[in-house]
C-alpha cells in the first residue's frame, strides 16, 4: 500500500481467483498516507466529432456485451496493443470499429481514467478527435471488426445527444461515460 493510504491493511491480501483477463484480490482493512498512480492504461476510448454536409455528429457505437447480456451504447474503444501508444491505438480502433479516419487530433487525456474504481483497476485514456465526413477517405466508411466483435455505428447530431440518449435509455444499456458526456454537453450549452 502507498504511504498515504488512509486505511490499515489487515493480514496479507489474497488472490481468490486468477484467470486470463481478470483476477479477484481480497484485501481486508480497517480505518486508522503518496498516491499510487497506474502509468499504463488498459485501453483507449475515442470521443469523435464528425462534420458532414454542414452538420455535426458524435460518433457512438452499439455493441453486444456478454456481462450485460444485452447491447450497450459506448464510445469507439479498444485495448492498447503491446508496444502501441494510446493515440495510435485510438486512431486504429476508430478506423476498425467505425471505418472513419480522424482528420484532427484535439487531445489525449493526461494521466489515466478509471472505469469502475470501486471494484476494478480497469483503465483507459481518452483520445478526442475531429473527422471530416466530406473527405474522400470518409465517404464510404467500412468497418474491419475482430472475430469476437459485433457492433453498429451511430451518428448522433451533437445538439440532440442528451435527448437521444434519454429516448433510448429504456431500451438499451448506456455506458456511464457516454451518459455524463451527454449531460455535460447539454449543461455546457446553456451555461
Q: Which of residues 58-77 bind its own copies (CB under 8 A)?
A: 63-72, 74-75
Q: Binding segment for its own copies among 85-93, 95-103, 110-118, 136-144 (CB under 8 A)? A: 110-118
Candidate list 44, 46, 47, 61; residue touching its own copies; CB under 8 A? 47
Q: Binding segment for its own copies among 82-90, 92-100, 131-139, 142-150 (CB under 8 A)? A: 142-150
Residue 58: which of 127, 162, 155, 179 has the closest Cα?
155
Q: Which residue(s) pair with 93 in the sheet?
A: none
Neighbours of 141 (CB within 10 A): 16
Specify the residue, 68 or 135, whose C-beta has the smaller distance to its own copies. 68
Candidate list 87, 96, 99, 115; residue touching its own copies; CB under 8 A? 115
Q: How far is the CB of 136 from its own copies (least distance, A)?
A: 27
C-alpha 144/C-alpha 166 separation (Å) is 30
Burial 93-111 (b: 16+ CB within 10 A, else e): bbbebbebbbbeeeeebee
Size of the site for its own copies (CB under 8 A): 82
How many residues would you count in the chain? 191
3-state secondary structure of 124: strand
Candidate list 8, 55, 104, 117; residue touching its own copies; CB under 8 A? 117
Candidate list 3, 12, 31, 53; residue touching its own copies; CB under 8 A? 31
Greatest Cα pair distance, the chain, in angstroms, is 62
Binding flag, residue 118, its own copies (CB under 8 A) = yes
Amino acid at each position: 500500500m502507498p504511504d498515504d493510504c488512509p486505511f490499515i491493511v489487515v493480514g496479507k491480501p489474497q488472490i481468490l481467483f486468477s484467470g486470463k483477463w481478470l483476477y479477484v484480490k481480497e484485501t481486508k482493512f480497517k480505518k486508522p498516507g503518496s498516491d499510487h498512480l497506474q502509468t499504463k492504461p488498459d485501453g483507449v476510448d475515442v470521443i469523435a466529432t464528425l462534420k458532414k454536409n454542414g452538420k455535426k455528429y458524435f460518433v457512438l457505437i452499439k455493441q453486444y456485451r456478454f456481462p450485460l447480456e444485452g447491447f450497450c451504447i459506448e464510445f469507439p474503444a479498444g485495448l492498447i496493443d503491446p508496444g502501441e501508444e494510446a493515440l495510435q491505438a485510438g486512431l486504429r480502433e476508430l478506423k476498425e470499429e467505425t471505418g472513419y479516419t480522424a482528420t484532427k487530433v484535439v487531445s489525449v487525456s493526461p494521466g489515466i481514467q478509471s472505469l469502475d474504481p470501486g471494484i476494478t483497476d480497469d483503465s483507459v485514456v481518452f483520445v478526442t478527435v475531429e473527422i471530416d465526413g466530406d473527405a474522400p477517405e470518409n465517404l464510404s466508411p467500412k468497418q474491419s471488426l475482430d472475430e469476437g466483435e459485433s457492433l453498429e455505428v451511430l451518428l448522433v447530431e451533437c445538439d440532440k445527444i442528451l435527448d437521444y440518449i434519454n429516448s433510448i435509455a429504456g431500451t438499451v444499456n448506456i455506458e456511464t461515460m457516454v451518459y455524463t458526456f451527454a449531460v455535460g454537453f447539454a449543461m455546457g450549452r446553456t451555461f
